Amino acid sequence: MKVGIDAIQFDIPKIFLPIEILAEKRNIEPAKLIKGLGLQQMSFLDVHQDTVTLAANALYKLIRQENIALSSISRIYVGTESAVDNSKPIGSYLVQLIEKELGERALKNCDVVDLTFACIGGVDALQNCLDFVRLNPNKKAIVITTDNAKYDLDSTGEYTQGAGAIAMLITANPRILSFESAVGVATEGVFDFFKPKRTVSKAAIFGDDSNENWFGVSETEVSIAKEQPVFDGQYSNECYINRVSEAYENFKSETGKKGKIYESWDLILMHLPYCFQGRRTFIDIFAAENPELLAKQEGETVKEKTKALTKSPEYLALVNEKLYPAEIASGKVGNIYTGSIFLGLLSALYFSAKENKALEGKKVGFIAYGSGSKSKVMEAEIAPQWQAEVAKTNLFEVLEQRIAIDFDTYEKLHKKELKSSVVEASNEFSIDYIEKENPNLLGARYYLRK
């Protein structure tokens, strides 16, 4: 029995910042970001949006697109590292919003949960739901990834920002692709990228040692929930390479397959924190699988030879055929953390459909990564109805309909200084208000669909 992705939808903010504007304001040569990293546009949340609205919009579109009976959905698993609450999962918000629009208590028997492991949480949710449907082939599950990749202004991660959500229907006998049960895994506990619970002392705030109750805080320090991470880009890149290489080898061990597995994959999908991350890091796997080709390259050290190998005809052919299709949407959206690898999937399939490529029965390789750190490698087979299903998303057309913002607007959005949306909500979920007075509901978030 085959199990996998039966249908897919997405939601991306309607505004973006052209990357050349950011480059110019930060005194970065635009070509470094555009040609060097593949960046073109950076999606950014509007005033009325957060990761709940993105997820709800993607889920709503998926349900309406496929005419899914809510009572048939057994679970909604969310992969995210951008939760809006330390306890209440995004999944519970989704049940509330979808039921309000499409049927009160219609999801009362649906299991929901958020899974968090940096950018690999969505793949964890997918693997869990695949196993669930394998055991319960008559049931349906939905996997949602939703994230807001936000970095400090003028930081080295600023140009990799992005926001978006992907929703996928998981069933038996899927119409888009089915996954093999074997999974390669590699894990190591590291601090390459993380979002710690931070604090600031009241003494630092008020300039004295008094500890008066301040907005309900009786402790001597105030907790800070900051969206932006603490990270070391160079170290994180090293961890990425190490984990994906280890997971790739583990996948070969788990499947018993020999030789260059990637050669059997028509498409290679990797986590893309920036557009060209995949092509810049898969070279290490390529080099390990082609020692004779590596030895022929110019250079005194392995590092020098590996760098030279990136420009070889053999590797450039692999990039253009297997990696490039997934990069197209990434360059126009930016990093969406847990959803990046699935945006790559949608991009690759949508591009392939536009090119009328015959992919039925072809293999796809998934190489996922999450900081902290973990990698998983999976393999899937493309189903006969893939082209008709991905066409429903209108991916490239939707991306072209977005509106560019100027740098001043971007910075005000980043600092949360704007009080009204750049583009008013229309046919989408939006933030209504956040409770600030009722002591039993302080911080509760309320949404509506306009």
**Vertex 133: Cα angle to 130 and 135 (nearest 5):** 110
Closest of 274, 293, 282 to residue 321, by C-alpha: 282
Supply the pLDDT for residue 255.
97
Supply the pLDDT for residue 292.
96
Domain with CATH 3.40.47.10 in the chain: 3-192+232-449
Closest of 325, 331, 332 to residue 355, by C-alpha: 325
Residues forming a β-bridge with 7 = 169
Write the pLDDT tens digit of every residue in 21-66: 999 999 999 999 999 999 999 999 999 999 999 999 999 999 999 9
Supply the pLDDT for residue 77.
99
The mean-pLDDT minimum among 63-72, 83-92, 211-220, 324-333 falls in 211-220
DSSP for 313-356, written as a single string: HHHHHHIIIIIHHHHHHHHHH---GGGHHHHHHHHHHHHHHHTT
Write the pLDDT tens digit of every residue in 151-186: 999 999 999 999 999 999 999 999 999 999 999 999
Residues forming a β-bridge with 194 = 230
Q: Which top CATH class is 3-192+232-449?
A: alpha beta
The answer to pTM > 0.75 is yes
- DSSP code, position 47: T
Closest of 264, 259, 234, 241 to residue 364, by C-alpha: 264
Q: What is the CA radius of gyration of the chain?
A: 22
Evaluate if residue 138 carries a pLDDT over 90. yes
Contacts of 287 by beta carbon, 8 Å cutoff, 6+ apart? 293, 294, 302, 305, 306, 309
Supply the pLDDT for residue 210.
85
Closest of 192, 120, 129, 172 to residue 375, by C-alpha: 120
Evaluate if residue 373 carries a pLDDT over 90. yes
Residue with tokens 């609450």: 85
CB-based burial, 14-27: b 16+ in 10 Å, e otherwise = bbbbbbbbbbeeee
Write the pLDDT tens digit of every residue in 419-432: 999 999 999 999 99
Helix axes 233-255, 277-289, angle to 10 degrees: 50
Write the pLDDT tens digit of every residue in 199-258: 999 999 898 988 999 988 999 999 998 999 999 999 999 999 999 999 999 999 999 998
Q: Is the dihedral of CA 191, 193, 198, 200 positive or negative?
A: positive
Here the tokens at position 400 are 């072209």
What span, in angstroms and rounded, lies between the C-alpha atoms of 348 and 191? 31
Write the pLDDT tens digit of every residue in 336-358: 999 999 999 999 999 999 999 99
Evaluate if residue 378 carries a pLDDT over 90. yes
